[in-house]
Amino acid sequence: MNMKINLSLLTLALSAVWADDGGWHTDEDKLLATPGPCTIEVRDAEDLTQEEFLSRYAFSQPVVIKGATDNSAFINDCKREVMLKKYGAKVIRLSSANTYSYRKVDVTLDKYVQEIMKPQTLGMLGNETFYWFGDNNYTEWQELFDKYIPPPYSLPGLTGVYSFGLAGAGTGVPFHFHGPGFGEVIYGRKRWFMLPPEKTPHFHPNRTTLQWLYEDYPELHPLDGPLECTINQGELIYFPDRWWHGTLNIDTSVFISTFLG
């Protein structure tokens, strides 16, 4: 009897951890990227005030923040079935997943999901991989964006602009930098690699983060290694102004960034 109860509790707990991929399933054998260690500070939003965010992180270092918002309404609309039904016919703009030369392609969301979005293989180059992140037409995506509760931290005088994305397992953007902001994972897991502005990483702008992980990362001297952390559903990462970062989606992932400018 006890055993039975324990087993069903265990099943319940495990399904809470694993089950909700929102329908964005990836076959286990297609997963080439793995989560790594977390060397970025991790904080609970409950214990992190806006004041401390400003003094400790905003201008000086990245931070992972747990439990900042309850985005369940938004998360529900990002399920595969819901997105295809509501928005499948919408035209989205894909970017090539390399550092500089962003080639763009317009396709319907339906075509992207059914035909283009695939787990990344090691042989594919970044400039030849198409990826949906950003270039979102705010008028067309307003209904969805209105449901998103943004990170409850801010930088003086700056406002947020959203970039929404959906991409296959193993995809990501190689090292680059821009202004400050937040990234949040809606489904899947995303591994972030970060370096301060003065520590330019060594990377080829057309190779993928996955190729970098397999070929360059193991060779790094410990002192040259980036800070890193894998972000799970509902977690935020803050990237300060001009910090280098490369991203890697472990699973088929849905994500949104709030760029501050």
User: Which positions touch ligand NAG (CB under 6 A)?
Assistant: 98, 101, 125, 127-128, 137, 139-140, 205-206
DSSP state of 176: B
- Work out how close the CB of 127 gets to ligand NAG at its nearest, in angstroms, rounded to a whole number: 3
Sheet containing 253-260: order of strands: 42-44, 63-66, 236-239, 181-187, 253-260, 160-167, 130-133, 91-96, 104-108
Q: Give the helix/strand (H/E) hosting 116.
A: none
We find the least distance from the C-beta atom of residue 99 to ligand NAG, in angstroms, to be 9
Residue 107 or 125 with smaller CB distance to ligand NAG: 125
* Alpha carbon distances (Å) from 245 to 14, 110, 173, 248: 32, 30, 8, 10
Q: How far is the CB of 35 from ligand NAG (least distance, A)?
A: 28
Q: Which pairs count as long-range contacts for 127-130, CB under 8 Å and 24+ apart, including other chains?
A: 127/96, 127/97, 127/98, 127/101, 127/103, 127/206, 128/96, 129/96, 129/97, 129/171, 129/208, 130/94, 130/95, 130/96, 130/97, 130/105
Instruction: Report residue 13 as tokens.
Output: 């707990």
Looking at the Cβ atoms of 120 and 127, the one nearer to ligand NAG is 127
Cβ closer to ligand NAG: 136 or 247?
136
- Smallest gap from residue 190 Cβ to ligand NAG (A): 24
Cβ 204 to ligand NAG, closest distance in Å?
7
* Secondary structure (3-state) at 14: helix
Identity of the residue, 154 or 163, whose beta carbon is nearer to ligand NAG in the bound complex: 163
- C-beta closer to ligand NAG: residue 59 or 100: 100
Compute the least distance from the CB of residue 90 to ligand NAG, in Å.
9
Contact (Cβ atoms closer than 8 angstroms) between residue 22 and residue 79: yes
Beta bridge partners of 242: none
Give the nearest distance from C-beta 224 to ligand NAG in angstroms: 21
Q: Which is nearer to ligand NAG, 126 or 180 (CB)?
A: 126
Q: What is the dihedral of CA 218, 17, 114, 135, to 10 degrees?
A: -70
Q: Nearer Cβ to ligand NAG, position 95 or 247?
A: 95
- Residue nearest to ligand NAG according to CB distances in the complex: 127
